[in-house]
Structure 1
Amino acid sequence: MAVGSMRCSLLLVLGHLMIVAGGKGWFGGDTVSASRIGAAATAVVTKSSREKAANESFPAARSTGGREAVAGAVDDPELVASEVDMMISNSTSRRGLGYLSCGTGNPIDDCWRCDPEWHRHRKRLADCGIGFGRNAMGGRDGRFYVVTDPGDDDPVNPRPGTLRYAVIQEVPLWIVFKRSMVIILKQELIMNSFKTIDGRGVDVHIANGACITIQFVTNIIIHGLHIHDCKPTGNAMVRSSPSHYGWRTMADGDAVSMFGASHIWVDHNSLSNCADGLVDAIMGSTAITISNNYFTHHNEVMLLGHSDSYVRDKAMQVTIAYNHFGEGLIQRMPRCRHGYFHVVNNDYTHWEMYAIGGSAEPTINSQGNRYLAPVDPSAKEVTKRVDTDESVWKGWNWRSEGDMLLNGAYFTPSGVGASASYAKASSLGAKSSSMVASITCDAGALRCRRGSHC
């Protein structure tokens, strides 16, 4: 708690100084030091084609066909935005927490963090979602499962008490941890539907091995984890349910990888230094919220979309809100292909190449973010159209609305501003960019302790 509060105080002071300084570059010299990138600069790994074998590895339980994989797409996103605003305004009646409100301006945190009995009301978190992934209930309707064993000796026959044993079950589960632990996964953690992984109250690291795969499942919440140093694994048998295991080809080494998944919420995690992406969503994934995370020391941070030719990703809708994109990041925060993306109230304090990229006519709605450009005069632009001629991308709908652009940062808008297109890329009301420091200062895994505010 003390560490988080100190970081908040420092960020608030720095944010104020950046505004007063008028973005003249004094702050950028420290934040863009090449020595702080470390191994991330060489961590460029080309996406593999292993998803081609996915249906062979998990035939019955994971078959999608038709429109199933994009069933979570929202038909009326304007309704989503109005519902979220109403839920925030009426938080007392919805959540019974009006008397506990933190008043930070972060509606997720204000929903649950000020309750000193949060550990007795863990499942209340599932009612605090926002954006396109707001209906992800995770394991809310199931039992609690306590991870007591950090081991992962047998990915085909996991022991009861391990994280792998929990995530493959068919029933909803709210997964918590008995103590702090480092979990080194031998193979991908293949999740089943209706699961919450809740790391609050302890320090849980998934590191130095395989990481999390969310493939053709729904209703997943990942909260409060440190996920880092993920490695490529595979060419092995891995269990995906109590009744099925299959052959997995090589995984790329993503921290959190989504394939044809829907209703996913990734919140308050600290992610860094993986072999490929930190958060990737491909192959028709949709109804996703990525919020309150702290991203550091990585090259290609976030890829949203399988390929420029994979048109089923046109139904993709992702909310990226209240995250801190921090030191040692280079590009893809995110890179989008097809679909609709709401980038709202995030703090971008470091990039080496660009912050937001796209390559297949995505609609990008950037609202109320704070963008601090690096010192490098060739990297001031927030945006990048990847391998696309201006005659093509000038018709794409990309807009910046209420963003704070510091140290020479600039956002290149495009398109005709079609309201219908931006409606599909709107998922909640943006706060003023002047509030970004307070909204995001506790991004990442929280230091929560029982009996006190988290």
Structure 2
Amino acid sequence: MAAIYPNLSLPLLLLLSLLFPSLIFSSTLQNPDLVVQEVHRKINESRRNLGYLSCGTGNPIDDCWRCDPNWEQNRQRLADCAIGFGKNAVGGRDGKIYVVTDSGNDNPVTPKPGTLRYAVIQEEPLWIIFARDMVIQLKEELIMNSFKTIDGRGSSVHIAGGPCITVQYVTNIIIHGIHIHDCKQGGNTMVRDSTKHFGFRTLSDGDGVSIFGGSHVWVDHCSLSNCRDGLIDAIHGSTAITISNNYMTHHDKVMLLGHSDSYTQDKNMQVTIAFNHFGEGLVQRMPRCRHGYFHVVNNDYTHWEMYAIGGSAAPTINSQGNRFLAPDNRFSKEVTKYEDAPESEWKNWNWRSDGDLMMNGAYFTQSGAGASSSYARASSLGARPSSLVGTITLNSGALNCRKGSRC
């Protein structure tokens, strides 16, 4: 046998003969390179059958973990599945699992053990899960500490009817599998943000998720709708963010990325927006960008009333492999909106559309140097063809995961 496959070691040949005897002695596969390729194919195929590799959806995040029927015993593996600029957001991967058991006793200053607020203010890394289905109506903003994951898989968890989630000057946050909706303003009161500190909070905006000076943040598979201000906003120097697999509906100003035209610190902002479904009842800002670099890739835009992607202050916007279905009215067919600048200025901003699918009259107004270095320096992940967007985003939003079966 070694004479037949001189480039393969004897131990490897013996192993292969045990695993795949018909392959090794096949007269059709005398080429050692072909043997190795075929063995890799068969091993990968067998692993897929066991749920360790791709489920074949074309969604790299989901293919990383959703096909594992034992996901509930391997929850923290999710942290290794992020993509894009937020791919290094480990959240509470390296800490203990904390189970939220109390949904109704939110105390903004002296939170009780068992509550979500108690978990998110702790100093150490925590992977936070939920004992059962619950609706959590917060009395004030949920101000998170660093290295935390909020993981709603296995339960139907709603944060709704009060102030919602704030990620302020902290790092390594994962928010996954949560319904976030009907968020209100809070503030003008004391709120705790760690075990060691609480302070006076001014009036909040009423965002679903507010990222303020945060970094390494990943918001994945959440369902968001109907908040007072933005569904997800990132401002004041926030960066290294991925917003993926979310389902967003029934909202006006969906996503603001960048504080103001004059806040130039946001030039370092890098955000990946991937595999989301922007659905019914949305008006604008999907997203609205300022200053930084924004990779908008393989999203499904099925509704907008004013525009889908907009910005000011010369952001770089790289739109790849998205599907844009324009509304039926004749006034909102344009995907893009250049704001607060004359054409003589915005024509130099780097906005490009690459492989996007335009439907029902949708069109994208490009600008700047199409192949400029600003695109090359920060392509956060490879785009799949826009024809696959329907499959990739099919399960956007919070998943109905149950223990003991694939998500």
Question: Which residue number in structure 1 is paired with residue 23 of structure 2?
Answer: none
Aligned length: 363
Question: Which residue number in structure 2 is paired with residue 224 of structure 1?
Answer: 177
Question: Which residue number in structure 2 is paired with residue 396 of structure 1?
Answer: 349
Question: Which residue number in structure 1 is paired with residue 4 of structure 2?
Answer: none
Q: Give the unaligned 5+ runs of structure 1.
A: 1-88
Question: Which residue number in structure 2 is paired with residue 344 of structure 1?
Answer: 297
Are the aligned partners of 1:364 and 1:425 in contact in 2 as well (CA < 8 Å)? no
Amino acid aligned to 1:273:
N
Question: Which residue number in structure 2 is paired with residue 178 of structure 1?
Answer: 131
Find 1:324's aligned residue among 253, 257, 277. Answer: 277
Are the aligned partners of 1:396 and 1:415 in contact in 2 as well (CA < 8 Å)? yes
Matches within 5 A, 1:108-257: 108-257=61-210
* Alpha-carbon displacement from aligned partner over 1:253-274 (angstroms, at most 9, x marks no partner): 0000001100000000000000
CA RMSD of aligned residues (A): 1.5
Amino acid aligned to 1:403:
D
Matches within 5 A, 1:2-401: 99-401=52-354
Question: Which residue number in structure 1 is paired with residue 29 of structure 2?
Answer: none
How far residue 420 of structure 1 moved from its aligned partner, in angstroms, is 1.2
How far residue 418 of structure 1 moved from its aligned partner, in angstroms, is 4.3
* Alpha-carbon displacement from aligned partner over 1:146-171 (angstroms, at most 9, x marks no partner): 00000244200000000000000000
Report the Cα distance in structure 2 between the residues aligned to 1:99 and 1:336, rounded to whole angstroms.
37
Which structure ranks higher in relative contact order (CA pairs < 8 Å, sequence separation ≥ 6)? 1
* Alpha-carbon displacement from aligned partner over 1:92-136 (angstroms, at most 9, x marks no partner): 7xx998744210000000000011111000001000000000000
Report the Cα distance in structure 1 between the residues aligned to 2:52 and 2:295, rounded to whole angstroms.
30
Report the Cα distance in structure 2 between the residues aligned to 1:153 and 1:357, rounded to whole angstroms.
37
Matches within 5 A, 1:414-453: 414-453=367-406
Are the aligned partners of 2:233 and 2:257 in contact in 1 as well (CA < 8 Å)? yes
Report the Cα distance in structure 1 between the residues aligned to 2:379 and 2:105, rounded to whole angstroms.
41
Report the Cα distance in structure 2 between the residues aligned to 1:342 and 1:261, rounded to whole angstroms.
18
Q: Secondary structure at the match of 1:442?
A: coil
Amino acid aligned to 2:117:
R
Are the aligned partners of 2:51 and 2:69 in contact in 1 as well (CA < 8 Å)? no
Amino acid aligned to 1:348:
Y
Are the aligned partners of 1:363 and 1:425 in contact in 2 as well (CA < 8 Å)? no
TM-score normalised to structure 2 length: 0.87
Report the Cα distance in structure 2 between the residues aligned to 1:167 and 1:153, rounded to whole angstroms.
12
How far residue 423 of structure 1 moved from its aligned partner, in angstroms, is 2.0
Question: Which residue number in structure 2 is paired with residue 84 of structure 1?
Answer: none
Q: Secondary structure at the match of 1:158?
A: coil
Report the Cα distance in structure 2 between the residues aligned to 1:316 and 1:420, rounded to whole angstroms.
16
Amino acid aligned to 1:143:
K
How far residue 386 of structure 1 moved from its aligned partner, in angstroms, is 1.1
Are the aligned partners of 2:163 and 2:184 in contact in 1 as well (CA < 8 Å)? yes
Structure with bigger gyration radius: 2
TM-score normalised to structure 1 length: 0.78
Q: Secondary structure at the match of 1:379?
A: coil
Report the Cα distance in structure 2 between the residues aligned to 1:153 and 1:126, rounded to whole angstroms.
27
Are the aligned partners of 2:51 and 2:68 in contact in 1 as well (CA < 8 Å)? no
Question: Which residue number in structure 2 is paired with residue 409 of structure 1?
Answer: 362
Q: Secondary structure at the match of 1:375?
A: coil
Report the Cα distance in structure 2 between the residues aligned to 1:423 and 1:157, rounded to whole angstroms.
48
How far residue 376 of structure 1 moved from its aligned partner, in angstroms, is 1.2
Are the aligned partners of 2:126 and 2:147 in contact in 1 as well (CA < 8 Å)? yes
Q: Secondary structure at the match of 1:412?
A: coil
How far residue 240 of structure 1 moved from its aligned partner, in angstroms, is 0.6
Q: Secondary structure at the match of 2:318?
A: strand
Report the Cα distance in structure 1 between the residues aligned to 2:180 and 2:51, rounded to whole angstroms.
33
* Alpha-carbon displacement from aligned partner over 1:346-374 (angstroms, at most 9, x marks no partner): 00000000000001100000000000000
Report the Cα distance in structure 1 between the residues aligned to 2:270 and 2:364, rounded to whole angstroms.
21
Are the aligned partners of 1:290 and 1:319 in contact in 2 as well (CA < 8 Å)? yes
Report the Cα distance in structure 2 between the residues aligned to 1:258 and 1:416, rounded to whole angstroms.
30
* Alpha-carbon displacement from aligned partner over 1:391-426 (angstroms, at most 9, x marks no partner): 000000000000000000000000012431112441
Report the Cα distance in structure 2 between the residues aligned to 1:152 and 1:311, rounded to whole angstroms.
41
